[in-house]
Amino acid sequence: MADLLDQFLFVLQRITWLSVLDIVLVALVFFVIFVMVSDTQAMVLLRGMILVIILLTLFTNILELSAFSWLVSTTLPALLLSIPVIFAPEIRRGLERLGRAGSNPGSITRSPSDQQALHNTIKAVVTAAARLSAKQHGALIILERRDSLREYTQTGTIMNSVVSPELLLQIFFPNTPLHDGAVLIAKNRIIAAACVMPLSASGVLKSTADRKMGLRHRAALGISEASDAIAVVVSEETGAISIAQNGRMIRRLDSERLENVLLAFYRPSETSSAPVRFLRRLFKRNEPQDRQKED
């Protein structure tokens, strides 16, 4: 213990501003990693790994256990190589978020005709969601933004149809061939139906008081985590309408609020510098869960 204290004092006496900068950069890297894996099952695993590393460090540095130290030094490289395999989904989502951080989906320039077509599309989605909610017919509607959803269209049935409430109602009518899956809307057209979406691995749904949320809600959160798309989901059990975007869910919406939220997502936002937009989008998911817009 005395040797450890002497080493600590030795290091402390030689700290410079470069050392402080080095420590800050390392801390920032770990902070970004924690942000990327927050609200996922990997967070629990990461805590366990950190606890194991701390215990191993204490045993190998404080106690003179030669055999145990040899075992740790032999197996540690293999453990480090297994980290990318264990955290592969979280690393992919984190890199995708970094790739989208410099862009601003709301600042897309649209002509008056495109704006009118977008407004008609949103109106059709809102009308269909309200009627599906009244009948308690489950539905999942994905609206594409900047990120392409072409890979998901291949999992369903290509339609390339005009967006209308009647068509959406027919697609999600129970026991029809296309009702089990998601409808993808891009460029104001229904591109495909019965598409398979990635399921969310986060703990957002588990932490909510309402447990009556199944695969549709997990799929809505999953596609919002994997892309910047907007997912409108209607619960088959309760008829409640929800929106998922950027890994967060806004629940219990009526038709008026649904339309306002969709229009807000596509409304051009105020211009800001690229670094500000980058940091805002990178750490956006680090907001407290109690700030979610729920009734």
Tens place of pLDDT for every residue, the chain, 295 residues?
Answer: 666 677 777 767 777 778 788 888 888 887 877 776 665 555 666 677 777 777 777 777 776 677 777 777 787 777 767 767 766 666 666 666 666 555 544 445 566 778 888 999 999 999 999 999 999 999 999 999 888 888 899 899 999 999 999 999 999 999 898 988 999 999 999 999 999 998 886 655 555 545 556 889 999 998 988 888 999 999 998 899 999 998 888 888 999 999 999 998 887 544 344 444 444 454 454 444 444 444 4
| Same domain membership, residue 261 and residue 179 | yes
Sign of CA dihedral 67, 68, 72, 73: negative
| Same domain membership, residue 83 and residue 114 | no
Nearest-10 crossing angle of helices 88-101, 215-226? 50
Of 51, 85, 101, the one marking the end of a domain is: 101
Residue spans of beta strands (DSSP E) within 155-219: 157-162, 182-186, 189-195
| Same domain membership, residue 70 and residue 198 | no
Q: What are phi and psi of 232, to 5 degrees?
A: -105, 125
Q: What is the pLDDT of residue 190?
A: 95
Using CA atoms, how far apart are residues 193 and 121, in angstroms rounded to an integer?
16
Does residue 294 fall inside a structural domain? no
Specify the number of domains making up the chain: 2
Residue showing tokens 């002497």:
6
Whether the CB-CB separation of 247 and 204 falls below 8 Å is answered with yes
Q: What are phi and psi of 63, to 5 degrees?
A: -95, 140
Residue showing tokens 């290509």:
158
| Same domain membership, residue 53 and residue 29 | yes
Does residue 83 fall inside a structural domain? yes
Does residue 285 fall inside a structural domain? no
- Cβ contacts of 126 within 8 Å, gap of 6 or more: 255, 258, 259, 262
**How far is residue 43 CA from its own chain's centroid?**
14
Using CA atoms, how far apart are residues 179 and 31, in angstroms rounded to an integer?
42
Of 101, 119, 139, the one marking the end of a domain is: 101
| Same domain membership, residue 116 and residue 83 | no
Name the strand (E) or helix (H) holding 248. strand 248-253
Does residue 195 fall inside a structural domain? yes
Q: What does the DSSP 8-state code read for residue 155?
A: T
Over residues 227-282, the pLDDT tens digits come to 889 999 999 988 999 999 988 888 889 999 999 999 988 875 443 444 444 444 54
Task: Report the candidate in 273, 294, 138 with the shortest Cα–Cα distance to residue 218.
Answer: 138
| Same domain membership, residue 82 and residue 208 | no
| Same domain membership, residue 189 and residue 227 | yes
Q: What is the pTM of this model?
A: 0.62
The domain that holds 247 is classified in CATH as 3.40.1700.10
| Same domain membership, residue 198 and residue 136 | yes
| Same domain membership, residue 62 and residue 185 | no
Does residue 288 fall inside a structural domain? no
User: Residue 141: which domain range?
Assistant: 109-270
Tally Cβ neighbours within 10 Å of residue 244: 28
| Same domain membership, residue 224 and residue 115 | yes
Of 48, 81, 101, the one marking the end of a domain is: 101
Does residue 65 fall inside a structural domain? yes
